[in-house]
Chain A
């Protein structure tokens, strides 16, 4: 398996009036070709900022302050965010699908024009060819009557259909990587299932890597091959999906898995085990582990030492924790 993207020690900070928000604070991850990755974590832990940083879409007051983003043998951070190299990469080799398609689709431009614009720009197609290709793409993502509906405006489509358009646009230039940021949070479960199955089939067909950003553990269990768990701007655990669910080793991951009800559990048979306390705000973070105040496994060492670096605990499985939780659960 070849690595298509290798992110090393990425740091993205926001200079706000309340102080410095360390939204992403030393994140490393890689993506293999054709792989489906799950990036999970609670609201505000830095999932979107990580992805936006890779695409160099961070705007003031945000700033990428450190790190390397290796893609096709080059460090993308050496390029201007709006320079020619990034423009040839973003939207072409790396694409994004957002949570709310209305924010990324232009409401006053037809679906057709939005799609053909990309094809003309990146693939040098003429208008006619681009239109034919756009119709074909809409068919691929399951938009009924694609040929007649392509001239509609986004608001004439339902939420699920708009998300299909976003998927069509994301695959239109055969990208190497698709980042899907909470692609199904705004839609219903049966629509979510339709869209995720569709994405899975498409990326397998065109051999693209897919990163699914979500807080839904079920979604990553169903679709991801490898998982990164984020907490407070860092990766706290990573590994093959089955291993993470069978054998979670970071107290936060363990807590997350214990706190969600499972389908089919008998009513009243089991109390949920919540994670007490709150996720930290990312200003003035203490040097120690950010999960410490909520951790039920903490030791004296945790109170004294800085945030632990990632360490291997087995096959491709990494955690950022001093404690060996095995046997303590």
Chain B
């Protein structure tokens, strides 16, 4: 048997996450939402993997599967060398303290009646990692680490600004000194002028603590800025993975190209000379996805074969993976 690869923080193999749609009193299953439809990727230790794609393509579901907040329909999730895909809650708990999560909505994800200090300290209590004055010290340290004044620890969330609330979320995620942090749209709800503060904070903390990030967002520019490698999802599947640079300089999947082209660049001169690919139609439903390549009905390069078989994610050299038979 192959030794587990020690460079890897997370390895996801053929992950599927289907949500059943039920009808009637007997909750008869009538169909599945194929939120994640057989994806594989890895995240190296100390690396940031970006995950981009449009609303509903399965980014959050992927993150929640890794955190084992969902029991995957099938496939494997290997975290720090251990297969956790079917692990029971009791065995999972100690591993959980090694994973943190930051969510999109700094308003909704914090309990409005809980004071900031206990929001940040709670994970430490849950995992029996600190009590009493040790807990207080650690909370103060965490506040400082994310640039919050520890004297604000008795305030409740609405007494903080959006950016400060997101810092509380970051402090909570880091409380147990995790190795992996799932950042699910951590800046989308913030003002433009505040976003950079949080991005810089995440980068600094990663450097200081050797963190590994899965960074989920739909803003490709932000994802590229923070990630070494980027995976592009479309309708439950990964269509392309490569380094940030390569993805920008040499995007290969027609969907990646359209996505790049759709993002306006804050420079009118560049904008004037760019070609804009405008996609036709809308993203189909994950309940009834197109046959073959999920993107083929909207693809200008599609040929008959594209509607028949799912294109494999193949390496076209240098670790640049793309799922398209036309490239």
Interface residues of A (CB under 8 A from B): 42-43, 158, 160-161, 188-194, 197, 215-223, 241-242, 245-246, 255-257, 259-267, 271-276, 278-279
Decide yes or no: A188 and B192 within 8 Å by CB, A245-B268, A261-B224 being known contacts: no
With A193-B261, A218-B264, A279-B191 known as contacts, the answer to whether A272 contacts B278 (CB < 8 A) is no
Max count, chain B CB within 10 A of own CB: residue among A42, A265, A266, A267? A267
Q: Are A190 and B195 in contact (CB under 8 A)?
A: no
B219 → A minimal CB distance (Å): 8
B residues near A216, Cβ cutoff 8 Å = 264
Task: List A contacts of B271 (CB < 8 A).
Answer: 221-222
26 A-B contacts (beta carbon < 8 Å): A161-B282, A188-B54, A190-B262, A190-B279, A191-B282, A192-B262, A193-B276, A197-B278, A218-B265, A245-B268, A259-B195, A260-B195, A260-B266, A261-B221, A261-B222, A262-B266, A263-B224, A264-B224, A265-B224, A265-B225, A266-B245, A267-B227, A267-B243, A272-B200, A272-B225, A275-B196
CA distance A205 to B40 in the complex (A): 47
Chain B residues in 8 Å Cβ range of A267: 224-228, 243-245
Looking at A161, A221, A265, the one whose CB has the most chain B CB atoms below 10 A away is A221
- Complex: how many Å from CA A158 to CA B285? 11
Contacts of B267 in A (CB 8 A): 221, 245, 262
In the complex, the answer to whether B221 meets A260 with C-beta atoms within 8 Å is yes
Measured between beta carbons, the chain A residues less than 8 angstroms from B200 are: 271-272, 274
Within the complex, which residue of B193, B199, B226, B265 is in contact with A263, where a contact is CB–CB below 8 Å? B265
Interface presence of B96 (CB below 8 A): no
Across-interface contacts of B221 in A (CB, < 8 A)? 218, 260-263
Q: Which residues of B contact A220 (CB under 8 A)?
A: 266
In the complex, the answer to whether B248 meets A264 with C-beta atoms within 8 Å is yes
Q: How far is the CB of A199 from chain B (nearest CB, A)?
A: 12
With a cutoff of 8 Å between Cβ atoms, the chain A residues found around residue B191 in the complex are 42-43, 215, 279
Query: B156 contacts the other chain (Cβ, under 8 Å)?
Result: no
Chain B positions within 8 Å of A265 at CB level = 224-225
Interface residues of B, count at CB 8 A: 46
Main secondary structure, interface of B, reads helix
Instruction: Report which B residues bind A (CB closer than 8 A).
Output: 54-55, 161, 163, 191-197, 199-200, 203, 218, 220-222, 224-228, 243-245, 248-249, 258-269, 271, 276, 278-279, 282-283
The chain A residue sitting closest to B57, CB to CB, is A188
* A-B contacts besides A218-B263, A261-B222, A278-B161, 14 pairs, CB < 8 Å: A189-B54, A193-B264, A218-B265, A219-B264, A242-B268, A256-B193, A259-B192, A261-B225, A265-B224, A267-B224, A267-B226, A271-B200, A274-B194, A274-B200
Q: Are A272 and B196 in contact (CB under 8 A)?
A: yes
Q: Are B266 and A221 in contact (CB under 8 A)?
A: yes
Query: B193 contacts which chain A residues (CB < 8 A)?
Result: 42, 255-256, 259, 274-275, 279
* Pairwise interchain contact A241-B268, C-beta atoms closer than 8 A: yes
A263 in contact with B244 given A222-B264, A257-B266, A274-B200 (CB within 8 Å): no
For A240, give the chain B residue with the smallest CB separation.
Answer: B268
* CB < 8 Å neighbour of B258 from A42, A158, A190, A266: A190
B282 CB → nearest A CB, Å: 6
Closest to B223 in A: A261
Task: For B162, give the chain A residue with the smallest CB separation.
Answer: A43
